[in-house]
Structure 1
Amino acid sequence: MQLPEHCQMCPRRCGANRAAGRTGLCGAGDTLYAARAALHHWEEPCLSGDPQDAAGSGTVFFTGCTLRCCYCQNYPISQEGLGKAISVGRLTEIFLELQANGAHNLNLVTATQWLPWVTEALDRARAEGFSLPVVYNTGGYETPETVRQLEGYVDIWLTDYKYASPELAAELSGAPDYPEVADRALRQMLAQTGEPVFAGDFLQKGVIVRHLALPGHTADSLAVLQKLSDIRHETGIPFLTSLMSQFTPFYKAAEHGLGRRITTYEYRKVVDAAINLGLTDGYMQEKSSAREEYTPPFDLEGI
């Protein structure tokens, strides 16, 4: 496994010498860290199945993140460094253990900063009989080059499309280039993966685009939906849309004007706009989804 001496794996392109142990803006250096590996029941139904079933999405939460979202519900691992150092060998074992425990798929959450470790572990696991669909769970802040590197490894892209406004992206995630980056990344994901393919109720291949509606920013949500509609028409490749109402004011959200949950009126406007644009293949949430218990405990389970 070759670690980058001038890291370019994410759009930050910070140039950290990871091979020499330097950490990038994502917080990652030369040692792999992860915070949880377990069956997860709160993804979209085509990934997790029925929440009452024992099985779920075999989810690995990695430490660090390329974004700096002020409202991140996973902030202990994304921004505060919570996690445990593990080897590629142990990561391989984790993948195989999740499969043995009945997972419907392997769900890699915020894995880009650990790409060399992840791809090597997938190669090793497949040599030992691993065969689950691989879900890449990302904030959408990816370079086309990284997306291309994952061709043959990733079956399902579970990607955010957070903002249409560079100013809002700068304020809330420290990434004014987010809209153009997410647009290019999504187009590359669609080109590689194609239209959704199901086996029964479960997605085997395709793209799910998530959008989290934020309180006070309905206008930006409507602009995001217009962009998604444009991408669908321009590429001709269908995808699933997941409109999320679960915003809860975690971490530093209140410092940036996000000290409340969204109203039913705000979320209804977003849903109605999606319907009017024909973005009807996918999912929406009940307002009751905005609850803290939907955030998993980062207690190093399974690591």
Structure 2
Amino acid sequence: MMLSLSRRWVVNAPKTTFIAPKILNRSLHLAPPFLLDDYVPRYMTLSSRDAAKKRSLAYAHLRNCNLCPRECGVNRYEKTGMCLIGEKAKVNTIAPHFGEEPCIQGHNGSGSVFMSGCNMRCIFCQNYDIAHQRNGMDLTPEELGDWYIKLQEVGNVHNINIVTPEHVVPQVALSILHARDQGLTVPIVYNTSSFDSLASLQLMDGLVDIYLADFKVWKPSTSKRLLKADDYAATARESIKVMHAQVGDLCFTGDGIAKKGLLIRHLVMPGKQDEGAEIMKFLANEVSTDCFINIMEQYHPDAHVGKPKRAKSDSKEEKQEV
């Protein structure tokens, strides 16, 4: 179920109920604030000077990695840190993807690039074989950027959707700048757990159009047990506020395709609906009452979840409660 915190216009769509902002006190011919006539990706408006600064900063971060809250500080050209990824991004899958929100996948699919490896260790991970086992091919930023062009020209995708980029932010930044020089013109989606450092978000500012951000859990005790990161919630709160400051609320063109803004995902987990409620309050009070949220119920862990702490619950009831 996807919703805007302040408004309630229901539109049925596959796998989700899309609750979009209601047009109040407006003539029908007037575009609401979330509707765009046209859109130019942010990276296309970046000056050559700013692009050069980002390239330089990306290489510097690789030599002293602090681009996630782990702050390993390793030289990625020589060894790896928590994510176990070095100077090259390891990519598992590159293809048009039709498993995203309708406003992201559209009619032609989202040009998804699934990064291998992760800076988290979620015991309920649904992409365990990708995130924990590091399967895939090693690509330079230039090779990665060339794949974006192929997705655009051959796949005719609506966007480039970089999935789990938190641990390869320098490589992603360099790949976007390379693809821009090669003719990339579609928006960039940064598909993240929200376990990002402010330094990485600063590097991506001006390169990302849509932040597709998870907010998993609220309590440090829960994140320590389930995510192996007791500072997750505090980090996610700060990261999401920065993301919204960069791109604002989710905006669409007339065909219903999202082009710019923040979209939050929250997976309702068994027994954690109270934490979901706290997350909703935070988003409404400290981010935006027009923030779009996809409340998901497909909890299906493929990693090592351990012993259950409660009986099986009705996930639909818990989702509705959130």
TM over 0.5: yes
Aligned position for 2:16: none
Aligned position for 1:90: 143
**SS at 1:60 equivalent:** strand
Aligned position for 1:120: 174
Describe the shift of the 1:132–1:257 C-alpha distance in structure 2 as closer, same or farther (beyond 3 A). farther
Aligned position for 1:71: 124
Aligned position for 1:239: 291
Describe the shift of the 1:147–1:16 C-alpha distance in structure 2 as closer, same or farther (beyond 3 A). same
Paired residue type of 1:178:
Y
Deviation at 1:216, TM superposition (A): 1.6
Where in structure 1 do 4 or more consecutive aligned residues deviate above 6 Å? none
Q: Which moves more between the two structures, 134-143 or 189-198?
A: 189-198
Deviation at 1:79, TM superposition (A): 0.8
Q: In the alignment, is residue 12 of structure 1 matched against residue 70 of structure 2? A: yes
CA distance in 1, matches of 2:175, 2:137: 17
If you compute each CA radius of gyration, which structure gives the higher value, 1 or 2?
2
Describe the shift of the 1:16–1:268 C-alpha distance in structure 2 as closer, same or farther (beyond 3 A). same
Aligned position for 1:263: 315
Describe the shift of the 1:147–1:259 C-alpha distance in structure 2 as closer, same or farther (beyond 3 A). farther
CA distance in 2, matches of 1:68, 1:80: 11
CA distance in 1, matches of 2:314, 2:146: 41
Q: Which moves more between the two structures, 152-161 or 26-35?
A: 26-35
Superposition pairs of residues 1-303 of structure 1, within 5 angstroms: 2=59, 4-20=62-78, 22-49=79-106, 53=107, 55-100=108-153, 101-200=155-254, 201-232=256-287, 236=288, 238-255=290-307, 257=309, 262-270=314-322
Determine which structure has greater relative contact order: mean sequence separation of CA pairs < 8 Å that are 6+ residues apart, divided by chain length: 2
Contact map agreement 1:248 1:260 (CA 8 A) in 2: no
CA distance in 1, matches of 2:84, 2:233: 23
CA distance in 2, matches of 1:202, 1:162: 25
Deviation at 1:196, TM superposition (A): 2.2
Contact map agreement 1:140 1:160 (CA 8 A) in 2: yes
> 1:61-114 CA distances to partner (integer Å, 9 max, x unpaired)?
001111110011111111111111122232121100110111011100011222
CA distance in 2, matches of 1:145, 1:256: 37
* 5+ residue gaps, structure 1: 271-303
Describe the shift of the 1:199–1:80 C-alpha distance in structure 2 as closer, same or farther (beyond 3 A). same
> 1:95-152 CA distances to partner (integer Å, 9 max, x unpaired)?
0011011101110001122222211111111111101000000001111221111011
**SS at 2:294 equivalent:** strand
Identity %: 32
**SS at 2:185 equivalent:** coil
CA distance in 2, matches of 1:224, 1:112: 21
Count the aligned residue pairs.
262
Aligned position for 2:19: none
Contact map agreement 2:284 2:291 (CA 8 A) in 1: no
| TM-score normalised by L of structure 2 | 0.77
CA distance in 2, matches of 1:81, 1:261: 32
**SS at 1:85 equivalent:** strand
Contact map agreement 2:66 2:199 (CA 8 A) in 1: no
Describe the shift of the 1:258–1:250 C-alpha distance in structure 2 as closer, same or farther (beyond 3 A). farther
Contact map agreement 2:193 2:215 (CA 8 A) in 1: yes
| TM-score normalised by L of structure 1 | 0.82
**SS at 2:91 equivalent:** strand
Question: Aligned Cα RMSD in Å?
Answer: 1.8
**SS at 1:220 equivalent:** helix
